Amino acid sequence: MAYLINELLFIFQRLDWLSVLDLFLVTMIFFGILMLLRDTQAVVLMRGVLLVIIVLIAFTSLVNLPAFSWLVRTTLPALVFAIPVIFAPEIRRALERLGRAGTESGGIIPRREAAAEGMQRTIRAIVNASARLAARQHGALIVLQRTDNLSDYARTGVLLNADVSPELLLQIFYPNTPLHDGAAIIVGTRVVAAACVMPLSSSGILERSPERQMGLRHRAALGISEASDAIAVVVSEETGSISIAHAGRMIRRLDAERLENILMAFYRPVRLPSSPYGILTRMQSFFVRKPREE
């Protein structure tokens, strides 16, 4: 015990402000990686990789096995090249979030009064249509574009370029019509396309849900929210419940009032911080995600 205390005192005596800064930066990097991988299948893979590395290092350190130690030393560097392949989707999402960190200010609509009023009318039309679709148990997937361009996904469907209205959305998602399957993409105050194909989520959040009423629409809503900063509104065909997905998270069982409040909050004008404390707040919001509501 005395030897351990002496070693710790020796380490603390050698610390200076550069060493503390170095340790802080490394800690923040690992903390950010863990937060980005939270609630994804990559967490399970990372645990398995770390467990294998710890077991191999402990085994080769305790037992003198030259041939096995040589094999471990030879194969471990290859694992470094395998990590980008294993965690490719998570790395891509992390880089996209980093690139959007300076532009996530609340939507693609200019901060003019007329544009704000037009967006409010659009949101009310979406809420009205979602409530009526939920009452009739007609499935729907409505994707609202923000800063990331969704033109590639819009080209997979039928181009409309029409004003948003409850009647148009009800007609698009009426059962057994040509535009019923797929998503409707809204850019600003226009429905640019319908019957669009969205990427499916591979995070495994829906598989861990206690309920099993969520199908392809919910997976597509999570998928587009993981691949972009878009907002996806989902109406379940089985239960008629309304959900909203953003940044790989889903809030479920919403009523019309809560849905409108959430959408208005996303498109409310945000003033950029003018002090260093505001920048720290934006860094915290980048690394820390809001908890999922069930």
Full pLDDT tens readout for the chain, 294 residues: 676 677 667 666 777 778 778 888 888 887 877 776 665 556 666 677 777 777 777 777 777 777 777 777 777 777 767 766 666 666 666 666 666 555 544 444 344 555 677 888 999 999 999 999 999 999 999 999 988 889 889 999 999 999 999 999 999 999 988 898 899 999 988 999 999 999 888 766 665 555 555 688 999 998 898 888 899 999 998 888 999 999 888 888 899 999 999 999 887 754 444 444 444 444 444 444 444 444
CA 224/CA 200 separation, integer angstroms: 7
CB–CB of 157/185 below 8 Å?
A: yes
The answer to the question of residue 17 being in a domain is yes
Structural domain tally of the chain?
2
Are residues 15 and 75 part of one domain? yes
Are residues 212 and 91 part of one domain? no
Are residues 121 and 166 part of one domain? yes
Task: Give residue 182's domain range.
Answer: 113-269
Are residues 210 and 91 part of one domain? no
Residue after which a domain boundary falls, among 50, 70, 100: 100
Are residues 136 and 237 part of one domain? yes
Are residues 67 and 145 part of one domain? no
CB–CB of 158/195 below 8 Å?
A: yes
**Residue 211 maps to which CATH number?**
3.40.1700.10
The answer to the question of residue 294 being in a domain is no
The string of DSSP letters for the chain reads -HHHHHHHHHHHHH--HHHHHHHHHHHHHHHHHHHHTTTSHHHHHHHHHHHHHHHHHHHHHHS--HHHHHHHHHHHHHHHHHHHHHTHHHHHHHHHHHHHTTT-SS-SS-S-HHHHHHHHHHHHHHHHHHHHHHHHT--EEEEE--SS--HHHHTTSEEEEEE--HHHHHHHTSTTSTTSSSEEEEETTEEEEEEE--PPP-S-TTTTSS-----HHHHHHHHHHHHSS-EEEEE-TTT--EEEEETTEEEEEE-HHHHHHHHHHHTS--PPP-SHHHHHHHHHHHHSPPPPP-
Residue 78, both tokens = 């290859």
Are residues 118 and 96 part of one domain? no
Are residues 8 and 64 part of one domain? yes
Are residues 133 and 249 part of one domain? yes
